[in-house]
Structure 1
């Protein structure tokens, strides 16, 4: 099965490339913000909706008015407008909020098509640069990239993401299925009785992060010392995010490699994270990203991921006889079924019920509450 896949690698620009990238990021940000302001004002003042073609025509006059835009590749500016149009499409479809203005000190990025980059002898060249990017390759590309996205995070690291065609190969069929209950004390509890624990990446760096944030708050705004302190804080945040993503990738890969069918909960993470007492812990658990990774890795391996309905009473139902408690507070971690006298660990019992409901959903096309199963095949 052929599909698209992005290969993300870190690279280290030369001083000349740093200047070029800073100019490119700045011009892309300027065009995005200027056009967004123009489209917003046109709608609220005149009731006029500016189309993408009109925004592209306006780019010609912008280059005349602001000559510095000619210092970078025109492809970058054109792709910036296409990205903005995609943001508006997501807003109109209800998938995202209204597009926001890009900030100078946040993550910077720009996208290039084939007209603005080339690959020669394993080296990637971008427009306006005579030297190739010094990329630390971790793997070979599956094909020549169709587009390239260059980004710089708040910790000052540069990354290049190359979109390539990828030949996904089906993995051997395994006669094993698993149900996964997601939690906070243990991130993943399986129907086999295994508990993963929780590395709590944020808590691990919490004291150091708090110290650096206090130091940052004492620095004078606009000073070089404040910029240095801000970079230190950003690097700690990047370290936490990298640790979390690494653990999530390893866990999702292990589940897909070892199981033909993986059954998980369909959680409303966006709603759950509104709880002020648990928001930090839920965000650190990375549940949404874990399920997303399971889905696309299962699709590549031609395996199945089934999400059961979020209202299915997995914790309150006895996995032995089917008895359902009317109420089971979170403080109760173990309980005994009054019908069959089976002693249950709350989380393992939930994982068993998730597996049962998921497999039933595959068999009859519905989850435990009668709604259609979301299966990745």
Structure 2
């Protein structure tokens, strides 16, 4: 999606928040209907029946009729699509939308094309029930049939047009690159390049700690607590913007330079889960230490390196040119002789093969193995022991 910064006036911001509230109310109401379904009841109503109920509700309530019918119907369509994705197994179960956290709505159809260019830097969009709202033109505005308006927790408004850009063309040089992802080094390439995703600066970390301590002392529901939360959200928003900018630039550069991009197939969602509690067998109701604080720090480092977003954008830009490689033992295998042993990894940064003496950066060595497509087993150098009395097994046909 092509996203632009939206600059509404105070009156328009109030109207936009009202539209967000209507969309959130309709979504939560549809979710409540769907959650009440059980096997002994009739099927939960889907979009057609819910749209009819929405028409009756708009006729009975003035505050709901004051909003845009397009916004409220699209909230029902979005929920119906979310339910279909959940049943298909591609997405998780739809959840409740909360105020100040999920602020946004979608416009489709002919109303989405009401855009007027003012000059080189500014344009306006006609939002139903709101009027002409300015947005900053940072790139060419695509010809889209729908757009979504969202508000961040920091108070920034954005408009995103649903237009899929074409993939980056391959250079045609036949070059293959391997990408190894890490925490200290966000991405190491088989060419020897070490890339680091920018995050918080030292000053921002100091201010973040100070604001978090102030937040603990603030009274819940007070204006001061809201200001401190907004300041903390602003720091995280700047770090998130830097992270996304780095991902976009890195993915575009890799898609333009290499024909084949091989990256380790990591399950980031499973890797960043919190550890399960360990019950103490000697004390019923008590738990043993499970190193959850250390695991939480590792999870923050993985998320700050944007592992999942980098692969997602690479697959978008380098279409059908990204190959996922099994990461098993790629960090313990020598990229020169192929010897695999845990002793090869001297520490987190240095790799030294105990067989041939090859020494290199550990992440770069793993990236070379990924570029070569090496995914070895734990017994790579040991022949599989098969009984002499075993009957020959016929190979299964493809």
Identify the TM-score tier after normalising by the shorter chain.
Answer: 0.7 to 0.9
Q: 2:332 aligns with which of 316, 320, 324?
A: 316
Structure 1 residue 368, shift from structure 2 partner: 6.2
Tell me by how many angstroms 1:334 deviates.
2.7
CA distance in 2, matches of 1:97, 1:165: 23
* Aligned match for 1:304, one of 318, 321, 331: 321
How far, CA to CA, are the matches of 1:340 and 1:236 in structure 2?
48
Q: Does 1:85 align with 2:102?
A: no
TM-score, normalisation: structure 2: 0.81
In structure 2, the CA distance between the partners of 1:199 and 1:168, relative to structure 1 (3 Å rule), is closer
Q: 2-side partners of 1:52 and 1:288: how far apart?
A: 33
Deviation larger for 154-163 or 214-223? 214-223
Counterpart for residue 350 of structure 2: 334
Answer whether contact 1:72 1:128 (CA < 8 A) is retained: yes
1:116 counterpart SS class: helix
When normalised by structure 1's length, the TM-score is 0.85
Kindly provide the CA deviation profile for residues 70-102 of structure 1, in whole angstroms up to 9, marking residues without a partner as x. 112101111101111122122222333321111
Against the structure 1 CA distance between its residues 128 and 330, is the aligned structure 2 distance closer, same or farther, given a 3 Å change threshold? farther
Distance 1:338 1:327 in 2: 7
* Higher alpha-carbon deviation: 175-184 or 151-160: 175-184
Name 1:54's counterpart in structure 2: 49
CA change 1:261–1:165 in 2 (3 A) is closer
Which deviations, in whole Å up to 9, do the C-alpha atoms of 1:319-354 show, x marking residues without a partner?
Answer: 112221156668354343333332243211111110
Larger-gyration structure (1/2): 2
* Structure-2 change in CA distance of 1:202 and 1:339 (3 Å): same
Say whether the 8 Å CA contact 1:181–1:190 is kept in structure 2: yes
SS at match of 1:150: strand
Distance 2:74 2:171 in 1: 41
Query: 1:55, CA displacement in angstroms?
Result: 1.8
CA contact (8 A) 2:178 2:261 kept: yes
Q: Find the aligned partners of 1:195 and 1:187 in 2 and give their Cα distance.
A: 8
- Aligned residue for 1:357, secondary structure, equals coil
Question: After the TM superposition, which residues 356-367 of structure 1 pair with which residues of structure 2 at under 5 Å, given as runs?
Answer: 356-357=372-373
Q: Tell me, yes or no, if the aligned pair for 2:332 and 2:345 is still in contact at 8 Å.
A: no
2:149 is paired with a residue whose SS is: strand
Matched with 1:133 is: 133
Counterpart contact for 1:205–1:240, Cα < 8 Å: no
Any conservation in 2 of the 1:268–1:310 contact (CA below 8 Å)?
Answer: no
1-structure distance, mates of 2:144, 2:349: 50
CA contact (8 A) 1:75 1:116 kept: no
| Structure 2 residue matching 1:263: 3-state secondary structure | strand
Q: CA deviation at 1:316?
A: 1.4
- The one of 275, 284, 289 equivalent to 2:304 is 284
**CA–CA separation in structure 2 for the residues paired with 1:70 and 1:297:** 43
SS in 2 for 1:193: coil
Q: CA 1:61–1:278 in 2, change beyond 3 Å: closer, same or farther?
A: same
Whole-Å separation in 2 of the counterparts to 1:195 and 1:93:
39
- Give, in whole Å, the separation in 1 of the partners of 2:240 and 2:348: 32
CA distance in 2 between counterparts of 1:338 and 1:219 reads 57
Shift of 1:272: 1.5
2:345/2:351 contact within 8 Å kept: no
1:278 aligns to what SS in structure 2? helix
**Aligned pair in 2 of structure 1 residues 25, 286: CA closer, same or farther (>3 Å)?**
same
Q: CA deviation at 1:171?
A: 4.8
* Correspondences of 1:86-105 after superposition (within 5 Å): 86-105=81-100
* Whole-angstrom CA distance in 2 between matches of 1:330 and 1:236: 37
Unaligned residue ranges in structure 1 (runs of 5+): 1-5, 359-366, 370-377
- The worse-fitting range, judged by mean Cα deviation, of 260-269 and 151-160 is 260-269
Give a deviation string over 1:253-276, Cα, whole Å, max 9, x none. Answer: 221222222111111111211233
- 1:223: which partner in 2? 222
What is the alpha-carbon root mean square deviation over aligned residues? 2.4
The alignment covers a number of residue pairs equal to 350
- Alignment gaps of 5+ in structure 2: 118-123, 274-294, 378-398
Equivalent residues of 1:118, 1:126 under 8 A apart: no
